[in-house]
Amino acid sequence: MTAAFGGAFACIVACGCVPPETSVDSARLLKNFDENADKLPYFKAEGTLTVKAYADGWFRVFKRSEDFTVLLAKDPENPAGPCDFALYVLDLGEPVMGMGSSTVDGMYYMFIGFGQSGMCNVGRTALAGAPGIEGMSLDISAAAGSDKSPGKGKKLDINPLQLVSAFAVIPPSNDLTSMPGAILQMQGDHWPFEYILTCIDRQGSTQRIVPLHRMIFDWKKDVEPRLPRRIEYLDPNGVWVMTAKIRKYKPVDVADFPNPPQDPPVMPSEIIYTWRNARSGKKMITLTLELSDVWAPEIDYSEACRLIHRIPKGLLNKARLIDAHLDAPKSNNPKNNPELSQ
């Protein structure tokens, strides 16, 4: 028995399952994250987007891959967001699918389809997450272009304002005395040993403090910068509704910056979003972003990410305002978005 115990202990040590003896506090963890994020105020990326739908959690019933482009620029006055963001797929030079947010318009959106055939949902960023707002659901049968698709009826709820966190360049607030904020939990009593940073903020319209997502960091002794390897997205009640696995961090080409940093920032080159059934926990849909090229050109991101430039006119004209039942927030300026002010 002694030999068996010794062998088991050796195995635990070898696989790294021994509880760590040192740790860092939330201020240090956030400082690590911020130092990397601050080096990349904006970027452009291209790659491949793959959507898969599953039956019973394992049998794949639908798969589709497309080339995509991402634009992202943080507000220098408020780098924690909202930001200017656009993720879109082009077919023969025309946008056929996209999601994003605009600081100029004060809106976030998602669309899919050609011309006037398709769907487009928009919402006001100041009201994002407010009670009674329907999610931006992407119908997989619409993505397939057929009502007879095996993916029919499978939908995923998307909040573009949250999805950008998986690029690991949007810093959580490092002011631990105000909102938005973050709470650090250290899971050191069992393997895997992790830092769990829960990001919180006030809910649109109600001002209730609610959880947004949990950022999971490896608990390792000498790793700089410490960056998340997984994000668990939460609904306002704290229910885990989606996961983003963050993989393959690589340096970003910032040679075009006026004063490029000596050590370039790093960003994940693969992000896997997974939606699961809230009751059974079975996998329903995965959305994989594989970034082949990431660089930082100097362009007008605020203008490029406006809704009038990113959404086909036929879809923009019939866009559904998902928070139409709520009063307009004072910060929203209708003149910035004349197409949706009617």
Parse the chain into domains and list their residue ranges. Answer: 24-340
On whether the CB atoms of residues 216 and 231 are closer than 8 A, the answer is: yes
Closest CA to 121 of 98, 104, 103: 98
Q: What is the pLDDT of residue 134?
A: 63
Alpha-carbon dihedral sign for residues 210, 109, 172, 83: negative
**Residue 40 pLDDT:** 93
Which of 126, 75, 85, 143 has the alpha carbon at shortest distance from 310?
85
Identify the band that residue 241 occupies on the pLDDT scale cut at 50, 70 and 90.
confident
**Band (221; pLDDT cuts 50, 70, 90):** low
Residue 326 has pLDDT above 80, yes or no: yes
- % of the chain residues with pLDDT over 90: 32
Tokens of 303: 């203008």
* C-beta atoms surrounding 103 within 10 Å: 21
Residue type, 255: A
Neighbours of 230 (CB within 10 A): 18
pTM of the model: 0.82
- Give the pLDDT score at 186: 82
**pLDDT given at position 336:** 42
Contact (CB, 8 A) for 155 and 185: no
CA distance 204 to 58: 36
Distance, CA of 204 to CA of 207 (rounded, Å): 6
pLDDT band for position 252 (50/70/90)?
very high
* pLDDT at 115 > cutoff 60: no
Mean pLDDT along residues 254-271: 90
Using only C-alpha atoms, what is the Rg of the chain? 21
pLDDT at 37: 92
Looking at residue 42, its amino acid is: Y
Tell me what pLDDT residue 292 has. 92
CB-based contact 180:80 (threshold 8 Å): yes
**14: Cβ–Cβ under 8 A, 6 or more apart, which residues?**
none
Q: What is the pLDDT of residue 342?
A: 38
Q: Distance between CA atoms of 203 and 199, rounded to whole angstroms? A: 12
Which numeric CATH code is attached to 24-340? 2.50.20.10
Highest mean pLDDT among 22-36, 66-80, 187-201: 66-80
Q: Say whether pLDDT at 245 is over 80.
A: yes
Cα 182 versus chain centre, distance: 17
Other CB atoms within a 10 A radius of the CB of residue 116 amount to 12
DSSP 264-321: --EEEEEEEEEEE-TTT--EEEEEEEEEEEEE-----HHHHTSHHHHS-HHHHTT-EE
Q: Report pLDDT for 330.
A: 56
Q: Pairing mode, if any, of strands 136-139 and 42-55?
A: unpaired
Instruction: Please state, in angstroms and rounded to a whole number, the distance separating the CA atoms of residues 172 and 165.
Output: 9
Q: Is the pLDDT of residue 223 over 70?
A: no
- Taking residues 144-162, what's their average pLDDT? 52
Residues in the chain: 342
Q: CA-CA distance, 280 to 174, in Å (whole number)? A: 36
Check: CB of residue 173 under 8 Å from CB of residue 180. Answer: yes
Q: Which tens digit of pLDDT belongs to each residue from 285-303?
A: 888 999 999 999 989 999 9
Identify whether the C-beta of residue 91 lies closer than 8 Å to the C-beta of residue 73.
no
Interior angle at CA 189, CA 185 and CA 191, nearest 5: 95
Given a cut of 60, whether residue 151 has pLDDT beyond it is: no
What one-character DSSP code corresponds to residue 192? S
- As a whole number, the mean pLDDT across the chain is 79
Q: Report d(CA 294, CA 254) in Å as an integer.
A: 9
Each residue of 162-215: pLDDT tens digit?
889 999 998 887 677 778 888 888 876 666 788 899 998 888 778 888 888 999
Pairing verdict, β 320-321 and 266-276: unpaired
User: 8, 2, 58, 39: which is closest to 281 by C-alpha?
Assistant: 58
Confidence of residue 334 (pLDDT cuts 50, 70, 90): very low
pLDDT (average), residues 105-124: 84
pLDDT of residue 107: 94
